[in-house]
Structure 1
Amino acid sequence: MTTLTPVLTDTWDAERSWTLETYLAHDGYAALRKALTMTPADLVQTVKDSGLRGRGGAGFPTGMKWGFLPPDDGKPRYLVVNADESEPGTCKDIPLMMASPQHLVEGVAITSVAINCHHAFIYVRGEVLHVYRRLLAAVREAYDAGYLGKDILGSGFDLDVTVHAGAGAYICGEETALLDSLEGRRGQPRLKPPFPAVEGLYARPTVVNNVESIASVPAIVRLGADWFASMGVGRSTGHGLFSLSGHVTRPGQYEAPLGVTLRELLDMAGGVRAGHELKFWTPGGSSTPMFTSAHLDVPLDYESVGAAKSMLGTRALQLFDETTCVVRAVSRWTDFYAHESCGKCTPCREGTYWMKQVLRRIEAGGGADGDIDLLLDLCDNILGRAFCALGDGATSPVTSSIELFRDEYQAHIDGHGCPFDPAASALFEYTPKTPSNQPGVLAGAGGH
């Protein structure tokens, strides 16, 4: 497999690709016209038959998620699109919304027909003001052309779409925290059950899907479930956006069938930057266990990546060459998770804080012989005990890096500093090990 599959990206190189005019020139809204002639049950079954799985990280079957909604009682039900993209390394939804927002808007309309929703919400990360403005313009164009609003295309179906800007919190990527934020509350995860399908936005049945998941729906309806299922491997069907960043010659978005390998993607991306070799990489963002060059041929599908002890996640492929200190990289990721913890549960709130302190101590040259096992113990007290997946994700880079690069951690401890950047470690002061004090306690603070 060495070819790309431009479906969501098919108009990205067109002039003014973000406009409705360009989208209509590439079969835009043909799928919505078809969907309005189908029953909601048939639409849900089509997506189920396609095998489309959630593109936000968890990989749950999209059609099955729609099918969890209780029988229609005549009262409101909602669709919420999770566009709060903030996982370190993840950069697929924002380019998609910038380059071709109408893919998403049409997907929202079709999904709303399928679940009988008459008010949908797109929750966008507040910092990306340019994306927020572009989505607002795209929704306005769709209203003006009759693809949204009252009596869509003369079908009798009404749909309003609200684009909402969040205040910038990683935790709001968790679907129930997003719903609380959308309702005007502080973004914190809810206790489940009840799940959003039963009691979501405004305590009504709600479907929450990722941008890429919803944007993939129009092509499935237009071209058929068999077309989509013909791509990919096994239970991981279809195409997806693979985001290559870091030490790669041509970083960017590569849309390919699931099951493509990093080796194949690197061939198309010009390889690792000249003169260097791949050291480690993430298959799905910083919250997925890292891989090394030994995993270049692991098929990037849910089952294969899971069998290799990681997660496909958001397909955020961050590549690091041999010049990168793994302790430094993991320490920076842990700083992020500690900062973004909502503080609702003790394991995540306290655990990420202490992981951050121990990692900084090791990086600074004040590490003690027991610090590696201390990190693993901290991870063990977070994993499976946190209120939501943020805590679990925060442990992944720590545990996987120790498993793959324990010698590098030990070199920091034995050499009293970073072997990659001794001068930076010398900026720290640490208390050497003696019988009269606790080993490796930092006397100063800093970073590099």
Structure 2
Amino acid sequence: RKPNDLALTAIVNLLIADLSEAETLLPYTPRNGEKGRATRWTAMAYKGRVQAYAAALDPTYWAAAKATFDSVINGTGGPGAPPYALEAGFNRVWTADPAFRNGKETILAYQASVRDGEPNGQNANFGERLNFPYSDANHFTCCGFHQPSYNLVDAFKVDAVGLPLSMSTSTWNDDTTYAGMTAPVDPRLDWTAGRDNVPYKDWNLHARSWIRDASYSGPYSPKKNIHERAFPDAEDNVGWVATQTNNVPIHLFRYADLLLMDAEAEVELGNLDVARGIVNQIRARAGVAAQGCGPDAAVLAAYTTFCTGNRAMVDTLRKNALNTLDSLQTPWAFYKVGLYNTPWTGLGQAYARQAVRTERRLELAMEGQRFFDLRRWGIADTAISNYVTTEAGRISYLAGAVGQFTLPKYQFYPIPTVQIELSKVGGQCRLTQNTGWGAC
């Protein structure tokens, strides 16, 4: 029955204190070599994350966040080399390939396990099991949840020099991104979302029959969480619809996420071109690998000329003469990704801030970070309102959601009514209900 009147910054400082203590108690490497366990570096990385979130309340936290992130990046005080690095290709981040399991980019991941004696598949990616393509037209058969939106897929469009189209024009979301379009897209798109007539990792071609109801949810499928056909032992063999359970680790925090939060800190501290260098690291890695043909016969039949003698799931983008742009023309997409070559000091802090935020959206799409980013940036109400207004023209039922997300009500969940009632002393509430959710 203690009042919930502690200031948010005070709560943040308690979290930081806990993580600072964890730094002193945890080893530098996982105990017993068990990769899913937290280390001193994990605690430090999460402390930086809390400090970056706290900067939404008090901008002075940005300096502390930068210092913490830089210590993790450089491995300051550690026994050897820096603990984390980017994987060489984006395709190696979310994969069933055991060669890259808990790789150098993993800060903390849920350790999904299959074929381990558990009879119902509950040690696998249990919380993700509905988030696979729907229908018997594909290997997974169920269930079509967590689909990428039109808005997200359109965000991967790029301009002539391979930079996000949304950075230079307001018309980036005016149409839909379909297979075979001539306009270029960031290659991360086809590692993130399943699109019709595009190879689906090393399975067959994604098709509209894989979607439960495109008029209700759009035509795209999730893709990051999907295991590759090349690794059949990654798929479970027990439980309900075992084809949609696998052992792909679910990233909770990875190094690219940390780097981009560090870039945010640099922008807010005025170090714009340091931030540009960090973002360009992410973009350079994005230009390494693109969705290739893969081994499936249906893909070869559809794209015989391109895929004959070119059956790898991962294709390679080609660099331009100045080494500032990577591109690859396939029958289903023109992949292109470029670096930010113009100094951000001349473009200004607002441009740099938007570039970093855009990069977070592309790099971390479908990983559960977007809504919380929008909240801490203070733009959730505007972004969601704009999203719903546009998407309602594509998915009709969303018209009923226009104007529904408002602040401050949806800044926080309501405290359960039963807890409010239990807090009463002498008929007076000791807990204060969050704004917009009723009495007390």
Normalising by structure 1, we get a TM-score of 0.24
Structure with bigger RCO (C-alpha 8 Å, 6+ apart): 2
